[in-house]
Amino acid sequence: MDSRTRRAWVDVDLDALRRNALALARRAQAPLLPMIKADAYGLGAVAVARALESLEPWGFGVATLGEAEELRAAGVQRRILIFTPILPHDLHDTIRLGATPTFGTAELILAWHEAGGGPWHLAIETGMHRAGIEWWRVTDLFDALRAAPPEGAFTHFHSADVDDATLDLQEARFREAVERLPARPRYLHAENSPAIQRRSPSPWDLARPGVSMYGVGGTVWPEFTPEPVAHLRARVVELHDVRDGESVSYNATWRAAGPRRVATLAVGYADGYRRLFANRGEAIIRGRRVPVVGRVTMDMTMVDVTGIDCQCGDVATLLGRADSEHIDINEIAARVDILSYELLVGLKLRAPRIHHGAGA
C-alpha cells in the first residue's frame, strides 16, 4: 500500500483540471492568466502550474510573494503576477524573483521604478473596495504613470456570478479609468471564472480563470459543467455494531434507531473535512452513498454502513467521484452553507495530495 493512502488523502485529477482550463480558454478566446494562489486552491500550485504548461498560459496569478518564490524554486519560468499589494520592504525580493507586482499607489510605483523594477500592473478599484486606485482617481497617479508606465491594468468583479448588472457597471468604470490613463497598457484584464462563462469572446487581453478550473461552479454558462478535480478519500479503520438508542461521537447528537452498523473513517476536520458535515455529510463506500452520523472529530468520522458488506481497509469517498457515484463539491458545500472555495482550500490541512495525469 502506498504510504500516502494509509488513512486519508486527496486524489487530484490534473487531466480534468486541464480540460476545465481548456474549455475556459476556448470560451474566452484570450490568453490565460490562471489563478494558482493559495497553493492552487489547496491542490498544489507546482503540480498545477506544470499541468497547465501545455496550454501555454501568459503567466500565473498568485496572492503572495511566498507563493511566487515557491514557483520559482520549482523551476516555473512563466510570468508570475502577484495580486495582493506588497509592502516596500518586499520590492527587492520581488525583483530578485522576476515577479510582476500590482500597485495602486504613487508611492509604491515610484519606489518600484527607483529600485530598478521591471513590468508591473496597475490595480484599478471599481467596486470591490479591496485593493487598487479608485477608478475616478487615476489622474492622481499621472506623474507616477508617466515615470513608470504599467505593462498592464486590471480590475476585479465582485459579483460576476450574479445577474444584477454590477458586472456591467464595474466594466464601464474600468473602461473609463483606462481611457483616462496617459497611455493604454499592453494588457488589460478583468474576468474571473464566472465572468468568462458569462460571455464569449472576452473583450480583454487576458482572462483570469480561477475556481472553475478546479471543478467548482459552472452555473453561469449552462453548457459547461466543470469536471471534478479533487477527490477526498479515507480508509475504513474500524467497524462497530451499535445497539438501538446508543449514541455516536461527541455530545450524542445522533442515536441509533434500531441496530446499526457504523464504520469509522480515518478523516476529520484536521484533514479539511469540516465539522459542519456532522449528520449532514455523505460518503461513498462500495458504490453506495452512506450518511455521516454524529459529530465529525479531529481525526475520525463515522458513517452508517448498515446492510453493506464493508470491511476495514475499504476506501470511502467523501468528496468527488467514485465509479458512477459523485458527491459534488457545490452541492455538499451548499448543504452546510459554506463556500465551495472554503471547502476546497481547506483540503490541504493534513491529508496528502496525490496528483494524477499530466504534470504529476
Domain residue ranges in the chain: 59-205, 230-356
CA distance 27 to 196: 7
What pLDDT, in 10s, does the model give residues 178-226?
Answer: 999 999 999 999 999 999 999 899 999 999 999 999 999 867 788 888 9
Query: Residue 221 has what pLDDT?
Result: 82
pLDDT of 359 > 80? The answer is no
CA distance 152 to 121: 4
What size, in residues, is the chain?
360
37 is catalytic: yes
pTM: 0.94
Query: Residue 323 has what pLDDT?
Result: 87
CA distance 188 to 200: 16
Helices (H), 8-157: 14-28, 37-41, 45-52, 65-73, 91-97, 106-114, 142-147
pLDDT band at 116 (very low <50, low <70, confident <90, very high): very high
Query: Residue 312 has what pLDDT?
Result: 98
Query: Residue 222 has what pLDDT?
Result: 80
Contacts of 195 (CB under 8 A, 6+ apart): 157, 160, 167
Q: State the catalytic residue, choosing from 187, 250, 273, 348.
A: 250
CA distance 326 to 128: 35
- CATH superfamily membership of 59-205: Alanine racemase (3.20.20.10)
| Set of cell numbers at residue 90 | 518586499
Q: State the catalytic residue, choosing from 37, 214, 273, 341.
A: 37
What pLDDT, in 10s, does the model give residues 298-308?
Answer: 999 999 999 99
What pLDDT, in 10s, does the model give residues 128-146?
Answer: 999 999 999 999 999 999 9
- The residue behind cell 493534513 is 350
What pLDDT, in 10s, does the model give residues 43-57?
Answer: 999 999 999 999 999
250 is catalytic: yes
- Which one, of 210, 189, 163, lies nearest residue 42 by Cα? 210
The CATH architecture annotation of domain 230-356 reads Beta Barrel (2.40)
Mean pLDDT of the chain: 96
| Set of cell numbers at residue 273 | 473535512
Query: Residue 360 has what pLDDT?
Result: 75
| Set of cell numbers at residue 43 | 491542490
Query: Residue 313 has what pLDDT?
Result: 97
What pLDDT, in 10s, does the model give residues 331-356?
Answer: 999 999 999 989 999 998 999 999 99
- Average pLDDT of the residues in 322-326: 92
pLDDT of 172 > 90? The answer is yes
Report the percent of the chain where pLDDT is more than 70: 99
CA distance 161 to 51: 27
What pLDDT, in 10s, does the model give residues 260-311?
Answer: 999 999 999 999 999 999 999 999 999 999 999 999 999 999 999 999 999 9
CA distance 30 to 32: 6
